Amino acid sequence: EKGGYKHFMLKEIYEQPRAIADTIAGRVLEEKGEVYLEGLDLSATELAAMEKVFIIACGTSWHAALVGKFLIEKHCRVPVEVDIASEFRYRDPIVNERTLTLLISQSGETADTLAALREARGKGGKVAAICNVVDSSIARESHGVIYTHAGPEIGVASTKAFTTQLVALFLFAVHLGRVRGTLDQAQGRAMLDALVTLPRKVEAALELDGAIEQAAREYMGARDFLYLGRGNQYPIALEGALKLKEISYIHAEGYPAGEMKHGPIALIDENLPVVVVVPHNDTFEKVISNLEEVHARGGRVIAVTDHTDPGLTEKSDAVFMLPKIIDELMPVLTSIPMQLLAYHIAVLKGTDVDQPRNLAKSVTVE
Ligand code: F6R
């Protein structure tokens, strides 16, 4: 059932091109620049009337939510607040009938996320969910649902569920932008044209596997890791750090690259590997200067980028080169080396990759 792979996690990492293609299939009207989301069950009029969006989730799904904020604020011009379900549910959030609360949950059974849903619904808000498990509690109790078509995820560490959540959020943002009139047909079409190229770019990203395994050998002995990113890559830095701690038991932190000088820079020495997520976007130069700060202090830089830059190569111990895609979809590609690095380090350390200690696939208790 592992299809020749050593672990479910690796199998699921490799299933991503297919899982993403399935999540896109039948939902994209490329010519019209529109998205069709069966099951969303919120009319264009209702969606256009929303004045505020909450995106609520736990763990890896919360990282997807943080990426979703960038997509929706940029393309739909509506304020988005992201919160962790166990925080949201206890703080008497300000929700009314013009608030859309989007819950993200792979299992659809996470207790805190379900409670957050009930909190938002109880206050009269509209509620939609992004779920992987069909007919799960969160899917059933929401006004509308967008399913990710990742297929069953067995490995406790979420991989294909996460990248398909990013795809579902992208589809939702294009849909919302089109119905709110903040995206025109040509803009919608350009975004969808990029989306349909994503599965084969993920496939290309997976070709980094061998090089990442090499790097894993080199860095597996480290006691701590730091992950840095800016903007929509900051959540990927968080996700990289979470993957590593979950399955390899190495302490890791994700930080917005610009915050490094406000504290974590004190940790940097020759024993600290720093994974820097630095695609060629508007903040490229900013992240490069953060990378230089790490290098200057003897930190070992592992760069994840889509751009050949002599300065970057010179100051990095390892560079993982990804294909190019629009910035909105780049978080899907940068997720791949995060998953593979954590996976290979865990395998080398001999941990139980699919069933890490103390963790459950579905957290149905508070
Ligand atoms: C991390 C991981 C967890 C889950 C979290 C939420 O790899 O698997 O952090 O993401 O427990 O689970 P769902 O998405 O099922 O609500």
The tens digit of pLDDT for each residue in 346-357 reads 999 999 899 888
Tens digits of residue pLDDT in 90-99: 999 999 999 9
The preferred substitution site among 56, 61, 133 for testing ligand 1, maximizing ligand atoms within 8 Å of CB, is 61
Q: On the CB side of 39, how many CA atoms lie within 13 Å of its CA?
A: 18
Predicted confidence (pLDDT) at residue 360 exceeds the cutoff of 90: no
Active site residue 69: no
Please indicate whether residue 137, judged by its CB atom, sits closer than 6 Å to ligand 1.
no
Residue 366: predicted pLDDT: 80
Whether residue 42 contacts residue 235, with contact meaning beta carbons closer than 8 Å, is answered with no
Tens digits of residue pLDDT in 57-94: 999 999 999 999 999 999 999 999 999 999 999 999 99
- State the Cα–Cα distance between residues 98 and 124, nearest whole angstrom: 9
ipTM: 0.99
- Cα dist from 280 to 264, 301, 330, 334, whole Å: 24, 17, 10, 12
Mean pLDDT, residues 261-276 taken together? 94
Tens digits of residue pLDDT in 196-245: 999 999 999 999 999 999 999 999 999 999 999 999 999 999 999 999 99
SS3 52: strand
In the chain, where does DSSP find H-type helix? 8-14, 16-24, 44-48, 59-76, 85-88, 111-122, 137-141, 160-180, 185-196, 198-206, 209-219, 234-248, 284-296, 310-315, 330-349
Predicted confidence (pLDDT) at residue 101 exceeds the cutoff of 90: yes
Which residue is it, tokens 């079409």? 189
Which residue is it, tokens 């206890």? 90
SS3 56: strand
- State the Cα–Cα distance between residues 238 and 252, nearest whole angstrom: 9
Residue 1: predicted pLDDT: 85
Supply the residue whose CA is at minimum distance from atom 16 of ligand 1.
105
- State the Cα–Cα distance between residues 290 and 78, nearest whole angstrom: 31
Residue 365: predicted pLDDT: 82
- State the Cα–Cα distance between residues 54 and 91, nearest whole angstrom: 13
The preferred substitution site among 8, 66, 88, 110 for testing ligand 1, maximizing ligand atoms within 8 Å of CB, is 110
Ligand 1 centroid distance, CA of 63 (Å): 10
pLDDT-derived band of residue 303, with 50, 70 and 90 as boundaries?
A: very high
